[in-house]
Amino acid sequence: MRKQSLEFLQKLMSSPSPSGYEEPAQEIWREYTKPFATVKTDYHGNTIGTLKPKGTPRLMFAGHCDEIGFMLIYIDDKGFISFAPIGGFDETIIPGRRVNIHTANGVVPGVIGKTPIHLIDRDKRDKGSKIEDCWIDIGAKDKKEAEKMVAIGDPVTYMYDMMDLATGLSVARAFDDRIGSFIVAEVLRELSKSKTLKASISSVSTVQEELGLRGARTSAFGCDPDVGIATDVTFATDQPGVDKKKVGDIKLGGGPVIARGPNINPKVFKILVEVAKAKKIPYQIEGISRATGTDANAIQVSRAGVAAGLVSIPVRYMHTPVETLDFKDVEYGIKLMAGFAEALTADTDFTP
């Protein structure tokens, strides 16, 4: 990966971006893409980079920049803070985490506390923790002191930075789906140098996916594409405890994952596979028998309907602070999506 792209990724991954609080990530995305695309941000917060606005067909790429997080909802008289989830969490792994509270005056560190196991009745120890059993401790002596540092509604993220494992795999708290936001920016950069591109391109760093695909719904309506490709993460099944008969055989390092099913236009799927074969890009296929639960779902049903596709990056330990992926899959995903765009012409027909 080139130096500038890696620096962009590191900045993007370190930015706090819970759903509804995506401004820091979007500012980084805007500054990176402005040199090679026309960039705007809509009222919802989606940031859109455009190439060849008069090209045909109109192609939209979408990767959501929001992450799961928390929000402050109550401060008690002793200065301990109650909080609520933004997005879906495994509540049993929340206690004992270091967190950053993102305030109007900067970051306030804290820890998520709970009653020590020694002090919990034996018949309750094995039931696991719930969010209401936990609190955030910022070291305040009372409510008044806490209110000088934080405010109700401030967002919270885990205090985890991106790191590499000894084998070269990468770990971060928000690859779901800041890596998708990164990919659509890199595809835009690659296509800005293309001599053969015929399509109009809108790459969108979408918002609020974790709260119901909200940003993809509004940006797809605004962009009005003929065809749209979402990029997200999907479950790697090359780990203990996963039944491949239920979710398929997907592994890290096996290449980007091309989805197939009722959420996916069959012509889009066919072109993606053809491009992968022609460019010798390793790929995997994921059968999804329902709406995918990604931005592809919202794109497909926008306006009078859009030819939708989904290219995913395999990730282990989704919705934890240690989401793990292989960057070879990311690099091949960028190549696949750029190749798809270059394969389109005004005569490309997506009618099933």
* Active-site amino acid positions: 209
By C-alpha distance, which of 88, 78, 85 is closest to 99? Answer: 85
Q: Which residue intervals of 238-350 are DSSP H helices?
A: 244-247, 266-278, 295-300, 327-343
**What is the C-alpha separation between 336 and 231, in angstroms, rounded?**
11
DSSP class of residue 192 equals T
**What is the C-alpha separation between 118 and 12, in angstroms, rounded?**
40
Residue type, 248: G
Q: Are 19 and 207 in contact (CB under 8 A)?
A: yes
Say how many C-beta atoms besides its own lie within 10 A of residue 80's C-beta.
Answer: 19
Give me the count of residues in the chain.
352
Q: Which helix (H) or strand (E) holds 244?
A: helix 244-247
DSSP characters over 145-170: HHHHH--TT-EEEE----EE-TTS-E
Bridge-based pairing of strands 98-103 and 106-113 is antiparallel
Locate 295 and state its tokens.
Answer: 């931005």
Q: Are 208 and 23 in contact (CB under 8 A)?
A: no
For residue 116, what are the contacts with CB-CB under 8 A and spacing of at least 6? none
Residue type, 184: V
Residue type, 76: D
Q: Which helix (H) or strand (E) holds 120?
A: none
Q: Are 228 and 215 in contact (CB under 8 A)?
A: no
Dihedral sign for Cα 138, 139, 143, 148, please. Answer: negative
**What is the C-alpha separation between 56 and 200, in angstroms, rounded?**
6
By C-alpha distance, which of 229, 234, 230, 279 is closest to 257? Answer: 234
